[in-house]
Amino acid sequence: MILLLREINRASRAGMPGRVSGGQMLAGNGTTPRTFLFLQGLSTSFFVRLADEIAARGHRVERINLSGGDRLFWPRFGAVDYRGRFAGWRSFVGSFMHGRGVTDIVLFGDCRPYHRVAVDIAHARGIAVHVFEEGYFRPEWITLERGGTNGHSRLPRGPEAYLAEASEISEADRTPLAVSGGIGQRVRWEILNQIATLLLAPLYPHYKRHRSHHPLREMCGWLKRLSKRPFERGYAKRLSRYLEAARPNYFLLPLQLETDYQIRRHSRFKSMAHVMQEVLESFARGAPPDSLLVIKRHPLDNGLANFRQQARRIARRLKLGDRVLVMDGGHLPPLLSKSAGVVVVNSTSGISALHHNRPVAVLGRAIFNLAGLTYQGNLDGFWREGTPPDPDLYRAFRKVVLTRAQVNGSFFTPKGLDLALAGALERMEIAPTLEVLAQAYPGSSDAPVLASPDSAVLIN
């Protein structure tokens, strides 16, 4: 455990030679200091660095840890451990917000069970909710939205609204500074999170994980996948060269993580096997007979499911022969750019495909599923009738989303962390109107019943 603490202490200072410039921006303009409550984030030093900068600007920072991984990635004093059952979380977090005078909540992903409860309470009381997520435009951007992301986003819902709003946005240079995704660092930090969650489980006996599998099972899946990595990389390179040289007519299906709440909350699918079955059945009915379907595994998939075996089984049943190929690896942009079309549930790979002017079919709820951008008919017709996005609408969509919901940077590299931190602070300085907060939640008449004191422990 000491080694883990040393590692995250080092990681929390990665790329941090000094504080982000900006002085007292968040507390500036004569506004009253605010109280920021941090809940769960990714396995990264981003949240603790963001909290340090917010505190340096004269605001109060609070934190509730739900697991050992949370505690590991929060090397600051004054956090509270919630050790109660999930059934008591609503009462506890409501009491905490009231007692500490919380004005803002900061979290990663608004669909995790604990977060959904906290967000619902915050919305009812007029508390600002700052939701971070993976970038809609990757890898140079991260997402930061007020209120919610993806299916809960407050971005426009129609093409006309995007065109109208884009016309009001200045044509400032929105070329991002290049940053890498930091996949290696991300995997290492995620492993640290899982180990800490296991080792410190006795401190959080009732923690309800947002993932579907036990950490030990996930780590076994990762070990199995890593053992096959040399073979899979070689196969992906050969397949990519074949697709580049022979130029067959192929469609691309990028898989998502089965634990992804975009699948669990914003689609009707229960698993990637369910997605593959529906897409392959449609492909068998409607795709040109000389076309291929290339299925690409998600780079962060835990390796527990054998998608190649599942796809082959479905393909045999549908008599598709060798028209269905599964790859684990390969560079996504060239695969997208050469494809005849891309099918997604609601993955941001769909936005990347639009960027490469490819026809896209969306099977779930997604901010980019707009008439003029994506195919709006039945999937059976997409294979022959899909058309590229309207370029003017795509430019308007990109301009609005970058302006309202994206911050240049990443969560996992020193340069990316510095950029993301500076951009997030600039975005979060726009404070909620304190008079509105006072009216929405005066703090006396509707204060929730206090949770049991046994549910929480202050970390001194």
Task: Name the residue with tokens 């410190």.
Answer: 200
Element (H, E) at 191: helix 183-199
> Are residues 400 and 162 in contact, defined by beta-carbon separation less than 8 angstroms?
yes
The verdict on 257 and 376 lying in the same domain is yes
| Distances from the Cα of 222 to the Cα of 295, 314, 460, angstroms | 20, 25, 36
- The CATH number assigned to the domain holding 385 equals 3.40.50
DSSP bridge partners of 294: 252, 325
Q: Return the pLDDT at 431.
A: 56
Distance CA 144, CA 188 (A): 24
320: number of CA atoms within 13 Å, CB side? Answer: 26
* 316-329: pLDDT as tens digits: 999 999 999 999 98
Tell me how many domains the chain contains.
2
- Specify if 75 maps to a domain: yes
Reading the block at residue 12, the tokens are: 């929390």
- Reduce the DSSP state of residue 134 to 3 states and report it: strand
What number is the average pLDDT over the span 321-346?
Answer: 93
Q: Which of 355, 372, 402 delimits the end of a domain? A: 402
Would the pLDDT of 210 be above 80?
Answer: no
* 414-449: pLDDT as tens digits: 999 999 999 999 989 865 544 334 433 344 333 333
The verdict on 398 and 410 lying in the same domain is no
74: number of CA atoms within 13 Å, CB side? Answer: 25
Quote the domain boundaries for residue 380: 229-402
Q: Return the pLDDT at 7.
A: 52
pLDDT confidence tier of residue 206, bands split at 50, 70 and 90: very high
- Specify if 353 maps to a domain: yes
The verdict on 46 and 155 lying in the same domain is yes
Distance CA 398, CA 377 (A): 23
- Specify if 23 maps to a domain: yes
Distance CA 105, CA 128 (A): 6
Distance CA 218, CA 17 (A): 35
DSSP string, 368-420: T--BTTBB-S-HHHHHHH--PPPHHHHHHHHHHHHHHHEEE--SSSHHHHHHH
Distance CA 420, CA 130 (A): 14
Relative to beta strand 292-296, strand 128-134 is unpaired
- Specify if 452 maps to a domain: yes
Rounded to 5 degrees, what angle do the CA atoms 368, 374, 378 make? 125
* Dihedrals phi, psi of 258, to nearest 5 degrees: -70, -20
Rounded to 5 degrees, what angle do the CA atoms 37, 43, 45 make? 70
The verdict on 166 and 244 lying in the same domain is no
Q: Which of 356, 380, 402 delimits the end of a domain? A: 402
The verdict on 325 and 424 lying in the same domain is no
Q: Which of 376, 402, 428 delimits the end of a domain? A: 402
Q: Return the pLDDT at 455.
A: 55
Mean pLDDT taken over the chain = 85
The verdict on 162 and 261 lying in the same domain is no
Q: pTM here?
A: 0.83
* Dihedrals phi, psi of 129, to nearest 5 degrees: -120, 120
The verdict on 64 and 137 lying in the same domain is yes
- Specify if 235 maps to a domain: yes
The verdict on 376 and 434 lying in the same domain is no
- The CATH number assigned to the domain holding 118 equals 3.40.50.720
Distance CA 241, CA 233 (A): 12
Q: Return the pLDDT at 178.
A: 73
Sign of the four-CA dihedral 263, 268, 270, 271:
negative
The verdict on 301 and 339 lying in the same domain is yes
* Greater pLDDT, 203 or 223: 203
* Greater pLDDT, 31 or 442: 31
The verdict on 95 and 155 lying in the same domain is yes
- Specify if 321 maps to a domain: yes
* Dihedrals phi, psi of 365, to nearest 5 degrees: -95, 130
- Specify if 203 maps to a domain: no
The verdict on 85 and 133 lying in the same domain is yes
Would the pLDDT of 339 be above 60?
Answer: yes
What number is the average pLDDT over the span 84-91?
Answer: 97
The verdict on 11 and 150 lying in the same domain is yes
Q: Return the pLDDT at 457.
A: 52
Q: Return the pLDDT at 44.
A: 93
* Greater pLDDT, 193 or 28: 193
- Specify if 124 maps to a domain: yes
